[in-house]
Amino acid sequence: MRQSFSQVRYTEISNFIEVKNLIIDYTRVDDEGRTVLATRAVNDVSFTVEKGSFISVVGMNGSGKSTMAKALNGLLLPSKGEVIVDGMSTADEDRIWEIRSRVGMVFQNPDNQIVSSIVEDDVAFGPENIGVPSEEIRKRVDSALRKVDMYDCKDKGAHMLSGGQKQRIAIAGAIAMRPQCIVFDEPTAMLDPRGRKQVMEIIHELNEDGITCILITHFMEEAAQADRVIVMKEGQIYSDTTPEELFSDRKLIEGAGLEMPPLIDLRDRAGLPESITTIEDMICQLK
């Protein structure tokens, strides 16, 4: 296992999430009725998440990144180890709804998250279920829809929306819960390039507003937009570093079974600085 990013930087400051020696096992029942280990999806993972940070998590299919993401707000509980959110353990049943109010989730398929036929009703669903007063719900729904540029669609049927619009509604639903952190589990995987760009712009805006963002993605060009990139391989952390350090280490990327983004390939062929990780960086360099 290769881990190139020192965690000292994060232990010296206020951490919002602490993952300690996390193990998540999937089990099955054998022919004799015994529960046995089927897969160890996450294997002894430890890291911390700073308040207000923007972290991306990448890895091959089966690397454990989505399983780990679901453990960050208690959708999956540790088989061993622990996850601490704002001082609360996800294993504490009495605190689980407090934890989920602090850490929202947005998943890959927006159709699996939309629960109401009308857009504004869907965004209001979460706050209603935790007893937020009606006047406050109205404010939250309107604010969240404006944040994702979907306010004009508030009276529309969710089935009439495009995939990108549905994903923005799913994000609005998370925003309406007023979380301190949102985990995005491959939110652009089912979208076209335009939809992907829109969702990434929203994530950046939320992070600029102080919301901690954790992006699980298999698009390396999206990972490059974060402040920090965690690379997972076979259920473990293979690397924990900055985008600049990651994309200057071709062997590390290949060792994790990942591909160098086309932009980084072009950068290297052109002999441009390794600090360039986005199209905007390249445009500025070439001006």
Residue 3 within a domain: no
Helix ranges restricted to H, the chain: 8-11, 65-71, 96-102, 119-129, 134-147, 163-175, 193-208, 220-223, 243-246, 250-255, 262-270, 279-286
Unique residue bearing structure tokens 């208690």: 74
Structural domain tally of the chain? 1
84 φ, ψ to 5°?
-110, 125
Amino acid at 10: Y
Residue 280 within a domain: yes
Q: Dihedral through CA 163, CA 63, CA 66, CA 182, nearest 10?
A: -90
- Least Cα distance to 82 among 124, 136, 42 occurs for 42
CATH number at residue 12: 3.40.50.300
Residue 2 within a domain: no
Residue 29 within a domain: yes
**Element (DSSP H or E) covering residue 228:** strand 228-233
Containing domain of residue 142, as a range?
8-286
Largest CA distance in the chain: 69
Residue 141 within a domain: yes
> Whole-model pTM?
0.87
Question: In this structure, are strands 80-85 and 88-89 parallel, antiparallel, or unpaired?
Answer: antiparallel
Residue 108 within a domain: yes
Residue 88: C-alpha distances to residues 24, 73, 108, 193 (Å): 19, 10, 27, 38
Please give the chain's pLDDT, 287 residues, in tens: 444 333 433 334 478 999 999 999 998 888 888 888 889 999 999 999 999 999 999 999 999 999 999 999 999 999 999 999 999 999 999 999 999 999 999 999 988 888 888 999 999 999 998 889 999 999 999 999 999 999 999 999 988 999 999 999 999 999 999 999 999 999 999 899 988 999 999 999 999 999 999 999 999 999 999 999 999 999 999 999 999 899 888 899 999 999 888 888 888 888 888 778 777 788 888 87
Residue 1 within a domain: no
Question: In this structure, are strands 236-241 and 80-85 parallel, antiparallel, or unpaired?
Answer: unpaired
